[in-house]
Amino acid sequence: MNKAENTKILPGEIEKQREIIKRLRRWNDSQYHYSQRRRLALVVTYGCQQNESDSEHIRGILGEAGFDFCDSAADANLIIYNTCAVREGAEQRVFGNLGALKHEKQKRPGLIIGICGCMVQQEHITKQIKQKYKHVDIIFGTHTLYRLPQLLWEAVSERRMAVSVGHTGGMIAEDLPVRREGGVKACVSVMYGCNNFCSYCVVPYVRGAERSRKPDDILKELRQIAEEGYKEVMLLGQNVNSYGKDLGGAADFSDLLGLAAEVEGIERIRFMTSHPKDFNDKLIKTMACCPKICSQLHLPVQAGSDKVLRDMNRGYTRADYLEKISKVRSMMPEMAVTSDIIVGFPTETAEDFEQTLSLLQEVRFDSVYSFIYSKRTGTVAESLAPVLADKVVHANFDRLLAVQNQISKEINDSYLGKVYEVLVEGESKKDPSTLTGRTSSGKIVNFTGAPDMAGKTVSVKITAAQTWSLFGEVQQ
Ligand code: 5AD
Ligand code: SF4
Strand order in the sheet with 232-236: 185-189, 232-236, 268-272
Which residue puts its alpha carbon closest to atom 14 of ligand 1? 340
Domain pair 180-294 / 419-474, same fold: no
- pLDDT attached to residue 2: 42
Q: Are 81 and 46 in contact (CB under 8 A)?
A: yes
Q: Over 60: is that where the pLDDT of 15 sits?
A: yes
Q: What topology is assigned to 11-164 in CATH?
A: Rossmann fold (3.40.50)
Percent of the chain with pLDDT over 70: 99
Average pLDDT over residues 352-361: 98
CA–CA separation, 456 and 468 (whole Å): 23
Average pLDDT over residues 202-224: 95
Q: Which of 87, 368, 396 to mutate to test the pocket of ligand 1 (most atoms within 8 A of CB)?
A: 87
Q: Over 90: is that where the pLDDT of 97 sits?
A: yes
Average pLDDT over residues 423-448: 94
Condensed to tens digits (0 to 9), the pLDDT of residues 159-203 reads 889 999 988 777 889 889 999 988 999 999 999 999 999 999 999
Condensed to tens digits (0 to 9), the pLDDT of residues 193-212 reads 999 999 999 999 999 999 99
Per CATH, is 180-294 categorized as 3.30.750.210? yes
- pLDDT attached to residue 434: 94
Per CATH, is 318-414 categorized as 3.30.750.200? yes
Q: Which of 199, 239, 382 to mutate to test the pocket of ligand 2 (most atoms within 8 A of CB)?
A: 239
Q: Over 60: is that where the pLDDT of 395 sits?
A: yes
Q: pLDDT band at 1, cuts 50/70/90?
A: very low
Q: Over 80: is that where the pLDDT of 114 sits?
A: yes
Q: Which of 201, 203, 390 to mutate to test the pocket of ligand 1 (most atoms within 8 A of CB)?
A: 201
CA angle 216, 220, 221 (to 5 degrees): 120
203: Cβ below 6 Å to ligand 2? yes
76: Cβ below 6 Å to ligand 2? no
- pLDDT attached to residue 427: 92
Q: pLDDT band at 331, cuts 50/70/90?
A: very high
CA–CA separation, 303 and 363 (whole Å): 12
Number of the ligand closest to the Cα of 341: 1
Average pLDDT over residues 118-142: 95
pTM: 0.95
- pLDDT attached to residue 475: 95
Q: pLDDT band at 291, cuts 50/70/90?
A: very high
Looking from the CA of residue 239, the nearest atom of ligand 2 is 5
Average pLDDT over residues 431-441: 93
Q: What count of residues does the chain have?
A: 476
Query: Could you tell me the distance, in angstroms and rounded to a whole number, from the CA of residue 242 to the centre of ligand 1?
Result: 19
CA angle 86, 92, 96 (to 5 degrees): 145
Q: Out of 3.30.479.10, 2.40.50.140, 2.40.30.10, 2.30.30.100, which CATH number does the structure's domain 419-474 have?
A: 2.40.50.140
Q: Are 315 and 198 in contact (CB under 8 A)?
A: no
Tell me the angle at which helices 253-261 and 215-227 cross, rounded to the nearest 10 degrees: 30
Q: Over 60: is that where the pLDDT of 6 sits?
A: no
Condensed to tens digits (0 to 9), the pLDDT of residues 38-51 reads 999 999 999 999 99
Q: Where are the domains of the chain?
A: 11-164, 180-294, 318-414, 419-474
345: Cβ below 6 Å to ligand 1? no
DSSP-assigned beta bridge partners for residue 78: 41, 112
- pLDDT attached to residue 392: 98
Average pLDDT, the chain: 95
- pLDDT attached to residue 169: 74
